[in-house]
Amino acid sequence: MAEVNLVEAVNMALARAMEEDDNVVVLGEDVGVNGGVFRATVGLLDRFGKERVMDTPLAESLIAGMSIGMAAMGLKPVAEIQFMGFIYPCVDQLVCHASRLRNRTRGRLGCPMVLRAPFGGGIHAPEHHSESTEAIFAHIPGLRVVIPSSPSRAYGLLLAAIRDPDPVIFLEPKRIYRLVRQEVPDDGTALPLDVCFTLREGTDLTLVTWGAMVHETLQAADALADQGISAEVIDVATVKPLDAESILISVEKTGRCVIVHEAARTAGMGAEIAARLCDEGLLSLMAPVKRVTGFDTVMPLPRSEHYYMPNVKRILKTCRELVDYA
């Protein structure tokens, strides 16, 4: 079995889904002839032809809106938006139509579409090419938001997203597109879209994260272990709908929780998770719920990127505060 990286796993899942279901089509800017700016769709045009792998003109609002129409009428579009910063023209279509087609028609029309976009910082790109605004989409009832953090989860979650009858915003942490290789069986096995993944078990502290930050968080957990602190690490992955239950169960055990995300702090997903812990897990907590996040600023340019991004040191500092608290 070949080892693949995250972006290759995305490609593998796309090919598998297209193989299984003739109604699955791929569209977007430069996805066909060029194989995608990050090579996520490479080879698909040759294999499946131009009626199923469509290079579109440069028009993001159209790409999203057209995907909704396709999805409502029998196709299963998987559209690519080149960078998350280009997704905002799609917001109108996603919020006004994709997310509520089912509700508006009392379930008669569905919208089985996937909108994929590379996201997040750390590749030395400017603002639109580096930001993490998953919370905007998580706020919208009717949209699913999924963020893989490993090749195997990219494969399994993308297959699940494509098979799901509702619209999924599938955000790929581009910083880790090629960070690790993993054996991923191309057997068409999907992963569930409604549970968190516990990547490491622990008893003293729960670290909750997603996307590229999973890697820094796991490194922090290793460093904590060296200090005799046992950290549980949860990859949320399916950010919306949120599996708060798994997080609550973990915090019942550990009594402490640190949420790590790259996105700006205010009204980020960390705030929602902290609120859920206060609502339903207050009595388990031995210390305040803390967040290690990006800052409330425009994603800075490369020379300042390292000041912005959460890192192992910041995560450890916050963990230490909680352990010292109680």
Partner 1 sequence: MMSPSGMQLPREELVRAYRMMCDIRHFEDSVHDEFAAGSIPGFVHLYAGEEASAVGFMMHLNDADRIASTHRGHGHCIAKGCDVKAMMKEIYGRADGLCGGKGGSMHIADLTKGMMGANGIVGGGPPLICGAALSAKTLKTGGVAVAFVGDGGSNQGTTLESYNLAKVWNLPAIFVVEDNRYAESTASAWSVGGSQLKRAEGFGMPGRKVDGHDFFDVYDAAAEAIGRARNGEGPSLVHVETYRYYGHFEGDAITYRTPEEEEQMKTQKDCLKIFSQRVTETGLLDASALEEVEAESRSLIEQAVAEAKAAPAPGPDKLLTDVYVSY
Q: Which of residues 214-253 bind partner 1 (CB under 8 A)?
A: none
User: How many residues lie near partner 1 (CB under 8 A)?
Assistant: 31
Asked if 308 touches partner 1 (CB under 8 A), the answer is: yes
Asked if 43 touches partner 1 (CB under 8 A), the answer is: no
Paired strand residues for 118? 172
Asked if 125 touches partner 1 (CB under 8 A), the answer is: yes
Asked if 303 touches partner 1 (CB under 8 A), the answer is: yes
Stretch that binds partner 1, among 26-34, 109-117, 223-231, 285-293 (CB under 8 A): 26-34
Closest contact distance (angstroms) between CB of 54 and partner 1 is 11
**Active-site annotation holds for 97:** no
Asked if 86 touches partner 1 (CB under 8 A), the answer is: yes
Asked if 42 touches partner 1 (CB under 8 A), the answer is: no
Binding residue for partner 1, selected from 69, 110, 126, 188, defined by CB under 8 A = 126
* Residue 203 contacts residue 163 (beta carbons within 8 Å): no
Q: Of 54 and 247, which CB lies nearer to partner 1 in the complex structure?
A: 54
| Omega before 241 within 30 of 0, i.e. cis | yes
DSSP state at residue 32: S
Question: What are the helix (H) ranges across 227-289?
Answer: 244-254, 269-281
* Residue 283 contacts residue 195 (beta carbons within 8 Å): no
Distance of CA 302 to the CA centre of its chain: 22
Closest contact distance (angstroms) between CB of 86 and partner 1 is 7
Asked if 30 touches partner 1 (CB under 8 A), the answer is: yes
Q: Of 59 and 195, which CB lies nearer to partner 1 in the complex structure?
A: 59
Reading the block at residue 287, the tokens are 């210390």
Q: Of 125 and 221, which CB lies nearer to partner 1 in the complex structure?
A: 125
Binding residue for partner 1, selected from 124, 178, 317, 320, defined by CB under 8 A = 124
Asked if 300 touches partner 1 (CB under 8 A), the answer is: yes
Asked if 188 touches partner 1 (CB under 8 A), the answer is: no
Closest contact distance (angstroms) between CB of 168 and partner 1 is 24
Please state at what angle helix 213-226 crosses helix 312-325, rounded to 10 degrees: 50
Closest contact distance (angstroms) between CB of 164 and partner 1 is 29
Choosing from 97, 128, 129, 261, the catalytic residue is 129
What DSSP string describes 100-117?
GHHHHTTTSS----EEEE
Stretch that binds partner 1, among 16-24, 99-107, 279-287, 298-306 (CB under 8 A): 298-306
* Residue 309 contacts residue 215 (beta carbons within 8 Å): no
- The Cα 259–Cα 207 span in angstroms is 6
What DSSP string describes 43-109?
THHHHH-TTTEEEPPS-HHHHHHHHHHHHHTT-EEEEE-SSGGG-HHHHHHHHHTGGGHHHHTTTSS
- The Cα 39–Cα 7 span in angstroms is 7
Residue 312 has a CB neighbour count (10 Å cut-off) of 16
Residue 69 has a CB neighbour count (10 Å cut-off) of 14
Q: How many residues does the chain have?
A: 326
Q: Which residues bind partner 1 (CB under 8 A)?
A: 29-30, 33-34, 37, 55, 57-59, 61-62, 85-86, 89, 124-129, 295-298, 300-304, 307-308
* Active site amino acids: 129
